[in-house]
Amino acid sequence: MVQIDAKPQGKTEAVYLRLKAEIENGDFEPGQALTEFMLVEHTGASRTPVREALRRLAAEGLVNIAPRVGATVARISLGSVRELFDYRRVLEPAAIRMVVEEASQNPSIGSRFAEIESRFAELATKEPTDAFIAEYRQLAEVFDTTLIECTPNAHLSRAILELRPHTARLRRIAHADRGRLLDAIAEHRAMCQAIVDGGADAAADALRLHLVHVDEAIFKALLSGRDNRGRDIDLVS
């Protein structure tokens, strides 16, 4: 299993993680300029950690750095979104199948997903407020993290892990449709239950269906030009 919760060390790592989270959360919008002066003021760090953090974010595709232009938050394109979900539909059903097989030998895995399913069930009873959306995002993150940690193939889990920053950016766009979240909760519960029940086919099918619906929700929001905060989306072709 892959361990992904190691504590960061050093100023550069702290700046990198902070900026990465703010890009994922939409605090820095696609296309927004990220000047060194602004980021030094924003983070309280010196120029060197800021520059190193920007280089790392650029290597991950979250930031673009161009001569005489500087750093900007990477914009979102319909083509890149389609490619991302095509890739996810290959990787993640394979991973969840392995998790089901692993759970048959390790009961603690089933217990973890049973707990997540219970938390989703409780969430489904609440009103769809801003707090509801925040709780859903947190719980969906727990599900994703647990799936990665429980995938026994290190190469597969690492490939999924590397996609997380990009899927996080798109997740907040998908949440523009609050009514969709109740369906998403039901889909997560189905995935969890399939893992608990030992149904590899059912788990993979439930995950594929979830990705199809998330893909549709994201494209609907992108084409509408508005994100879940009612802001314009800086979309490129």
**What CATH code is carried by the domain that includes residue 146?**
1.20.120.530
Report in angstroms the alpha-carbon separations of 221 from 140, 168, 174. 19, 15, 6
**What CATH code is carried by the domain that includes residue 34?**
1.10.10.10
**Do 66 and 35 share a structural domain?**
yes
pLDDT at site 223: 77
**Do 179 and 118 share a structural domain?**
yes
Closest CA to 218 of 174, 183, 182: 174
In tens, the pLDDT along 52-99 reads 999 999 999 999 999 888 999 998 888 888 999 999 999 999 999 999
Query: Do 179 and 76 form a contact (C-beta atoms < 8 A)?
Result: no
Across the range 191-213, mean pLDDT stands at: 97
Quote the crossing angle between the two packed helices 154-174 and 11-24, to the nearest 10°. 50
Q: Is 93 helix (H, G, I), strand (E, B) or coil?
A: helix
Apex CA 210: angle with CA 205 and CA 216, to 5°?
130
In tens, the pLDDT along 97-112 reads 999 999 999 999 999 9
pLDDT at site 161: 93
Q: Between β-strands 63-66 and 70-73, what pairing exists: parallel, antiparallel or unpaired?
A: antiparallel
Range of the domain at 229: 77-236
In tens, the pLDDT along 115-135 reads 999 999 999 999 888 889 889
Q: What residues contact residue 175 under an 8 Å CB cut-off, 6+ apart?
A: 133, 136, 137, 181, 228
In a domain, 125, yes or no: yes
pLDDT at site 179: 73
Q: How many domains are there within the chain?
A: 2
pLDDT at 237 over 60: no
**Do 135 and 34 share a structural domain?**
no
Query: Do 3 and 149 form a contact (C-beta atoms < 8 A)?
Result: yes
In tens, the pLDDT along 20-63 reads 999 988 889 889 999 999 999 999 999 999 999 999 999 999 99
Query: Do 108 and 183 form a contact (C-beta atoms < 8 A)?
Result: no
Cα dihedral value 159, 88, 71, 45, nearest 10: -50
Q: The whole model's pTM is what?
A: 0.80
Q: Three-state SS across 15-52? A: HHHHHHHHHHCCCCCCCCECCHHHHHHHHCCCHHHHHH
In tens, the pLDDT along 162-189 reads 999 888 888 777 666 667 889 999 999 9
In a domain, 26, yes or no: yes
